[in-house]
């Protein structure tokens, strides 16, 4: 398992260097004051001012720092050395106070103490995790009593589709053996001269819900959405800002889901 995770860490180190320059992340716009947060999480998580917030799998921290701009006291965690270095540099450059921890999620209890009012994670995080039960236990470990866990993520149904979004290609149900891919460029820089092995794990929606319940958290809601906050496939068109749907609106498959729970 460590072999797969270390491979993915190397992948994300390479992707960080691509994403820093990419139009999708628009780092210059963020430095000028643009928030990287999307309407779904802003509405569903709600007020964060004055609260402590732990952001798991934060990449290079734009969302983490966007929550800080809204008044949260933030800590971001990622396993990529390059991403955490960029996050710390970005925090200093824009003058936003934040802590960033470089750690594999499963090793985090050895690297970070304390509990938080909010644990947050979003968009493309679960497929990198081989063990959702352990993930949910770590979420619960870091929540204060009464604290809130919130995730918004691409729907497992949509994750079965190929890169064009037209054909079912990948598994829906979890197996211990990962899905092996060959990354060409990245989702934010598809034409970049970069090739790397990639390992993912499928998790059904019930896997996510049951892992959260087994960790002792209380569900507040699970929502499914017929749109994506990103143009994840060419077959999607932007209906309103940050809301992409299939061009054939007679068919509305679930493209994202969100979940909120409390300890």
Q: What is the pLDDT of residues 234-254, one digit of tens each?
A: 889 999 999 999 887 677 889
- The structural domains of the chain, with segments of one domain joined by +, span 35-170+207-262
C-alpha distances out from residue 185 to 14, 25, 49, 144, 248, Å: 9, 15, 37, 40, 29
* Cα(208)–Cα(204) distance, integer angstroms: 7
DSSP string, 206-223: HHHHHHHHHTT-EEEEEE
Residue whose C-alpha is closest to residue 100's, from 75, 72, 68: 75
Superfamily (CATH H level) for 35-170+207-262: Vaccinia Virus protein VP39 (3.40.50.150)
Q: Which of 161 and 130 is assigned the larger pLDDT?
A: 130
* DSSP SS3 for 195: strand
pTM, full prediction: 0.96
Lowest mean pLDDT among 42-51, 106-115, 242-251, 254-263: 242-251
**pLDDT tens track for 72-85:** 999 999 999 999 99
Which residues partner with 77 through β-bridges?
Answer: 56, 101
**pLDDT tens track for 9-43:** 999 999 999 999 999 999 999 999 999 999 999 99
The first and second tokens of residue 203, run together, are 């998790």
Which residues partner with 120 through β-bridges?
Answer: 55, 150
C-alpha distances out from residue 8 to 129, 199, 217, Å: 10, 7, 29
């Amino acid at each position: 398992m460590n072999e797969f995770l270390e491979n993915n860490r190397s992948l994300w180190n390479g992707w960080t260097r691509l994403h820093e320059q990419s139009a999708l992340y628009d780092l210059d716009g963020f430095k000028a004051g643009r928030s990287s947060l999307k309407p779904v999480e802003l509405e569903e998580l709600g007020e964060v001012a004055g609260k402590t917030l732990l952001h798991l799998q934060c990449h290079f921290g734009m969302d983490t720092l966007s929550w800080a701009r809204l008044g949260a006291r933030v800590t971001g965690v990622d396993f990529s050395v390059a991403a955490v270095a960029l996050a710390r540099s970005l925090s200093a450059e824009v003058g936003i106070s934040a802590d960033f921890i470089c750690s594999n999620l499963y090793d985090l209890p050895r690297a970070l103490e304390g509990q938080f009012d909010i644990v947050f994670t979003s968009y493309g995080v679960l497929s990198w995790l081989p063990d959702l039960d352990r993930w949910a236990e770590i979420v619960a470990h870091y929540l204060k009593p009464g604290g809130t866990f919130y995730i918004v993520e691409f729907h497992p149904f949509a994750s079965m589709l190929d890169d064009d979004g037209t054909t079912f290609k990948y598994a829906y149900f979890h197996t211990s053996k990962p899905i092996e891919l060959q990354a060409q460029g990245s989702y934010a820089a598809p034409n970049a001269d970069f090739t790397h092995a990639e390992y993912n794990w499928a998790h059904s929606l019930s896997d996510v819900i049951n892992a959260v319940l087994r960790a002792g958290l209380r569900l507040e809601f699970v929502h499914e959405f017929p749109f994506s906050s990103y143009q994840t496939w060419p077959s999607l068109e932007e209906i309103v800002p940050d809301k992409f749907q299939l061009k054939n609106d007679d068919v509305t498959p679930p493209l994202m889901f969100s979940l909120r729970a409390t300890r």
